[in-house]
Amino acid sequence: MIFGMPTLIELNGLEETMVLCQELGLHFVELNMNLPQYQLNHLEKIEELKGLKDKYQLFYTIHIDENLNVSDFNPLVAKAYMETVKRTIQIAKKLEIPILNMHMNHGVHFTLPDRKVKLFEQYRETYLESITGFRDMCEQIIGHDDIHICMENTDGFMDYEKEAIELLLQSNVFALTWDIGHSNSCDNKDEAFIIKHEKQLQHFHIHDGNNKSDHMTLGTGEIDLNGRLDLAKMHNCRCVVETKTVDALRESIQWLKANNYLEG
């Protein structure tokens, strides 16, 4: 199995991250576009990123900005997000990045006296039309390159999001990320949907958790880690050890080694 690490807020810059990644015996770093140092203007410094990649014999995946909303009803906003994805794919091509990880955006909701109305649900046809356009754009730009955009579960997919993901999965450039900690924290409500599409699993975010906490060190929570990791292995998935601190990452790597998932 291939394991990587996230970009951690404690580390100063990409090279420090690459040093730790190599030290821990991991294979890749997931660059997080929520952070200022991993915005497009920095990621487009291709020679610099390629130099670090070659120096440490590692590769990258990318976590796209969690605010991304290609279905925003404001066409100017949606266009900016589409352009962001387009340029991110172009970066992935140049750096041989195999995975772009992406969240679904729930969209805005209106609160009525008796319920909340999700606008993407209310205007479902418009929403799904935008998703189809996004899918077609990504498919055209990726072409025959070995790049997959993996949709990650967060706090439970809405029904309209499941429909949207199934539209995306009609294209072979889209796949799934299973974040097992997110899944656990929402009572595994996405598990049946993910298992239904398990052949399209390409990426995992692994961390432990319980009913109070998430992103915990492996082996300190209640998640069936062996079961999840065995599934990841079955489908040859890449796995990000998605803890939030260096210490938790180090301890999680020790757990993986002790349980024979990682050599060392």
Pick the CATH number of 2-258 from 3.20.20.140, 3.40.50.720, 3.20.20.150, 3.40.190.10: 3.20.20.150
Instruction: With a cut of 80, say whether residue 2 has pLDDT above it.
Output: yes
Kindly state the average pLDDT of the residues 232-237: 96
The residue whose two tokens read 């100017």 is 76
Kindly state the average pLDDT of the residues 8-12: 95
State CA 176 to chain mean position distance: 9
Q: Write out pLDDT tens, residues 187-211.
A: 999 999 999 999 999 999 999 998 7
How long, in residues, is the chain? Answer: 264
What is the pLDDT, as a whole number, of residue 50?
98
Kindly state the average pLDDT of the residues 29-38: 97
CA distance 165 to 174: 9
What is the pLDDT, as a whole number, of residue 152?
98
CA distance 165 to 130: 12
What is the pLDDT, as a whole number, of residue 196?
97
Determine what percent of the chain is predicted with pLDDT higher than 70.
100
Determine what percent of the chain is predicted with pLDDT higher than 90.
97
What is the enclosing helix (H) or strand (E) of 118?
Answer: strand 116-118
What is the pLDDT, as a whole number, of residue 1?
85
Of the pLDDT bands very low, low, confident and very high (cuts 50, 70, 90), residue 127 is: very high
DSSP result, 18-51: HHHHHHTT--EEEEETTSGGGSHHHHT-HHHHHH
Q: What is the pTM of this model?
A: 0.96
Instruction: Please say whether the beta carbons of 120 and 159 come within 8 A.
Output: no
State CA 77 to chain mean position distance: 22
Instruction: With a cut of 80, say whether residue 264 has pLDDT above it.
Output: no
What is the pLDDT, as a whole number, of residue 211?
78
Of the pLDDT bands very low, low, confident and very high (cuts 50, 70, 90), residue 213 is: confident
What is the pLDDT, as a whole number, of residue 239?
98
Residue-averaged pLDDT of the chain = 97
Q: Write out pLDDT tens, residues 70-126.
A: 999 999 999 999 999 999 999 999 999 999 999 999 999 999 999 999 999 999 999
> CA end-to-end span of the chain, whole Å?
13
Kindly state the average pLDDT of the residues 246-252: 98
CA distance 32 to 28: 13
Of the pLDDT bands very low, low, confident and very high (cuts 50, 70, 90), residue 217 is: very high
Of the pLDDT bands very low, low, confident and very high (cuts 50, 70, 90), residue 250 is: very high
What is the pLDDT, as a whole number, of residue 82?
98
Rounded (5°) CA angle 181-182-183? 90
